[in-house]
Amino acid sequence: MCGIAAIYNIKESKKDNLTIIRQILQNISHRGPDQQNHISVNQCYLGIARLSIIDLKNGSQPIVDSTKRFHIVFNGEIYNYLFLKKELENLNYNFNTNSDTEVVLYSYIQWGEKFAEKLDGMFSIIIYDKINNELIICRDRFGKKPLYYYKDDKKIIVCSEVQAISNLKKENLLDLRLNNQGYWDYLTYRYIPGNQTSYKNIFKFDRGSV
């Protein structure tokens, strides 16, 4: 189990977002005791709390491709990554690690948004494209790996846990009003359906979404 996070800046300063990403990683440190790391690229921060399973020595995240354009944080396991790695090597891709994370990154570079169709496994993925200044978010078909996002007019925050966002210190001025319908749904169904959560401005990424 790992935890991943991203902050995409719309209006706020990068200094503010540095404080937030550090707090988020602290909030999800229980998901990844082996590594907590973050990088800043343009308007975006990517962060990882990693539980090391594959390539313990060289699999540190975030991972960047050879052109320095694409950056990734990844939570999950890709069962067919060795098969995909061989396919990508035959397409002249070179790998610096033995991790499935790097295979996921080059799969996106090769096949674009259809890359998820190639992946056999459970996953939540955040990729940042430095040239196009955009986030690519992907979640597995069955929704086994969680992923949530907060959005206001200043920033977008993506994270593996709702609590990691809702527990941010009050001085970050997030709009975290409670979602009364979400609480009612939970009491009725024992879960919150759709993309809603218990907070009005925090939402689930749909399973199978890119």
Q: Which residues are catalytic?
A: 2
Cβ neighbours of residue 43 closer than 8 Å, sequence gap 6 or more: 8, 9, 10, 14, 133
User: Of 4, 2, 23, whose CA–CA distance to 174 is shortest?
Assistant: 23
User: Of 27, 9, 31, whose CA–CA distance to 18 is shortest?
Assistant: 9
Compute the distance between CA of residue 21 and CA of residue 150 in angstroms, rounded to an integer: 13
- Phi and psi at 97, nearest 5°, equal -135, 175
Report residue 100 as tokens: 């499935």
